[in-house]
Amino acid sequence: MKPVRNEMRLKANLIRMKIFRLLLLLIGFTLSAQAQPSTLTSDLDKILAERFPSAIEPGAAVLVMHKGKPVLRKGYGAANLETKAPIQPDMVFRIGSITKQFTSTAILKLVQEGKINLKDPITNYLPDFKTPLPVTVEQLLNHTSGIKSYTSIPEKMNTESKKENVAVADMVSFIQKQQTDFAPGEQWLYNNSGYYLLGAIIEKVSGKTYKQYITDNFFKPLGMKSSFVDDAQPISKIATGYTRIAANEFAVADYVHPTIPYAAGSIFSTVDDLYKWNQAVFSFKLVNKALMEVAWTPTKLNSGALESYGYGWQLGRIGEQKAIGHGGGIDGFVTFEVFVPAQQIYVCILVNTVGVNTEEIAYTLAERVAGVSGQKPAAMVMDEKALREYIGVYQVNPREERVIRLKDGKLYSQRTGGNMQAIFPVTTDQFMFEESSSRINFRRDAEGRVSSMEVINRSWVNAEAKKTNKAIPQERTEIKLDAAIFDRYVGEYELAPGFILKIWREGERFMTQATGQAPLPIFPESETQFFLKVVDAQVRFNSDETGNVNSLTLFQGGREMPAKKVK
């Protein structure tokens, strides 16, 4: 029997050794896995520290999650410049249009309960709201209604008007009186009026106020204890919103009464609460999967063209995977959150000043977590004759064009109202942007002539544009202007509440700076008309009957934006 016992002991020892080796492998794997997040956290922290370098200026609360585990949760900058209190990651911010996710989900919950039909005309729920052509609930959700957005109407968005407590019925009546911008479904145009009306529909159908509905159905069940539809009750640990008025100078932003943004942008929240919200939505605890999948599907216009927007969610891409999120902006605050379902990556950034590109930051962080390489292919050599084939004006949509021009042996792309950006060839008909990861694929017709382009960037739907026969816009010609004439224009002009365009002179240079943005030179093409070179924009100064300069008009992106001189 002894040999049997020895054999059993040997087998037992072998099993123990295998288990021991397995444990070593598991421990090694765990240590390796832990090291990777540690390095990743440092990388993300470095990105954010570069964008929010000062502890005595406004900053951000940031949360990055991966597969249910925090990669980074941190505050940057000051929550209050007077007390110098730092931003903590659990602080409350105004989230602006991220509110639209809550409004959209509320509508879909009522659809699920059989109380609303997305294809119904809105008059089924708001019988007094008349439009020239029927508008559906769905068209409010996806910004194709054509109803004019009340936030584009200066009289409703001036500093004093925004402080007022406005009844829902009064605002709905005001919106109803405005002329529509286009026929329903013909175009896509971001529209706060649509979401205001959705709030009114929620109240009508549920019998609760918007605040009660969102609180009872979302905040309380999900344990979102730091989220509020308004500021009627005291909110502790809230960040103060600021407006930049000079390079290193900030002022407290104008107060906006929550009844003004309402269902389009009134909510206050934290990065932690928004993560709870995101998890509940994407695990279909609130609304079933079938309905939510529709909310994350590109909008189709009457023409068949697609837009990278669903119902209250923007649709983007991280590498080749769909990214679903939304941003927000309200006086003193800009925000963005994005979720990549395939990799369970969630990024939320809440900032307490304007002029910060939160979408760019959020996508940069998400791409780093996803391991998406930002490395660009090498440029290929292409002679000027070949480059000339791509020159032209390409029609993106009824409101926008993209111009491709040749300067000094290099191609430049400029979308209506945007910056002129250099592009370089990587293969025949494919070009990369020098300053971003976006690219353009040019297409040719049966005769081999360049006929259209596809712009591939972070949007889920690639932008298509057809080449037109329009002449390339001539570059504007700068004239010599007496500094004394320009000095009459020096001052501050209010484009929108809290958004100022400053005009000043530095020796012989004429300068402008929009709130929260970098200063830029402007160049005269007449005594009253000036243009920018890095952005497709022009400024015209206006005078009253007595010759006093009292306003300017900014021309950008096909829009004319008046601004009253306030200083």
Alpha-carbon distances, residue 243 vs 111, 174, 248, 431, 540 (angstroms)? 40, 29, 11, 38, 25
The pTM of this model reads 0.80
Q: Which of 514, 535, 515, 488 is nearest to 523 (CA)?
A: 535
Q: Is the pLDDT of residue 305 over 70?
A: yes
3-state secondary structure of 352: coil
CB-neighbour burial class of residue 301 (10 A; exposed 0-12, middle 13-18, buried 19+): middle
Are residues 121 and 167 in contact, defined by beta-carbon separation less than 8 angstroms? no
The least confident of 20-29, 144-153, 537-546 is: 20-29
* Rounded to 5°, angle at Cα 203 from 199 and 209: 95
* Helix axes 358-370 and 2-51, enclosed angle (nearest 10): 160
What's the whole-number mean pLDDT along residues 210-226?
A: 98
Residue with the bigger pLDDT between 32 and 545: it is 545
483-565 is classed in which CATH architecture?
A: Beta Barrel (2.40)
**Whole-number pLDDT of residue 437:** 80
Q: Are the CB atoms for 91 and 237 separated by under 8 Å?
A: yes
| 179-188 per-position pLDDT tens digit | 999 999 999 9
Span 338-350, pLDDT tens digits: 999 999 999 999 9
| DSSP per-residue string spanning 221-261 | TTT-TT-BSSSSS--SSBPPPEEEEETTEEEEPPP--TTTT
Domain with CATH 2.40.128.50 in the chain: 384-467, 483-565
249 has pLDDT over 90? no
Q: What is the pLDDT of residue 498?
A: 60
> If pLDDT is split at 50, 70 and 90, which confidence band does 374 have?
low
| pLDDT value of position 37 | 55
Short-list 414, 441, 447, CA closest to 429: 441
User: Comparing C-alpha atoms, which of 45, 77, 99 is closest to residue 327?
Assistant: 99
CATH of 384-467, one of 2.40.128.50, 3.40.50.150, 3.30.950.10, 3.40.1350.10: 2.40.128.50
Q: What pLDDT is recorded for position 497?
A: 62
- Quick check: 289 and 321 in contact, CB under 8 A? no
At 468, list the tokens: 């037109």
Per-residue pLDDT band for 373 (boundaries 50, 70, 90) equals: low
> Cβ distance 370 to 340 under 8 Å?
yes
Residue 503 confidence (pLDDT) above 80: yes
Cα–Cα distance for residue pair 519/509, rounded to 1 Å: 12
**70-370: CATH number:** 3.40.710.10
CATH 3.40.710.10-classified regions of the chain: 70-370
Q: Is the dihedral of CA 379, 384, 386, 391 positive or negative?
A: positive
The string of pLDDT tens digits covering residues 133-159 is 999 999 999 999 999 999 888 777 776
Q: Rounded to an integer, what distance in angstroms lies between the CA atom of residue 357 and that of residue 375? A: 22
User: From residue 411, how far is each of 145, 383, 384, 422, 533 by CA, in Å?
Assistant: 38, 11, 9, 6, 16
Q: Is 436 in contact with 457 (CB distance < 8 Å)?
A: yes
What average pLDDT does this structure show over 433-460? 93
Residue position matching structure tokens 């910056």: 419
Report percent pLDDT > 90 for the chain.
Answer: 72
Instruction: Report pLDDT digits (tens) over 38-65.
Output: 799 999 999 999 999 999 999 999 999 9
Rounded distance between C-alpha atoms, residue 232 and residue 110, angstroms:
26
Q: According to the model, what pLDDT value does residue 519 have? A: 81
